[in-house]
Amino acid sequence: MHLDELRELHEHRPFNPFTIHMVDGHPFDIVTPQYLAIHPHGRMALVWHVTGRGHSYIALDAITRVSHIDAPLSIGSES
């Protein structure tokens, strides 16, 4: 995925939630723009987990695809 494509998805308003799929198969749900921070140089990103339990750094060149989320996800910590 090109950096410009990811930035376009991230900055689109109204925001449309999406899932980032990594080469290892791990998905990251981006339910609001605040769940993703792209490094200014465009090599890495910080993704906060939807469960509210931590975050991950991801290499943008390890993204295989992005898909839109059709159904709303519940946001917040799990009980």
pLDDT digits (tens, 9 = 90+) for 7-27: 999 999 999 999 999 999 999
Q: Which of 63, 72, 70 is nearest to 38 (CA)?
A: 63
pTM of the model: 0.85
pLDDT in tens, 16-58: 999 999 999 999 999 999 999 999 988 999 999 998 889 999 9
The CA–CA distances, whole Å, from 76 to 34, 41, 73 equal 13, 30, 10
At 78, the pLDDT band (50, 70, 90 cuts) reads very low
Q: Which domains does the chain have, with CATH numbers?
A: 3-68 (2.30.30.100)
Q: What is the pLDDT of residue 77?
A: 43
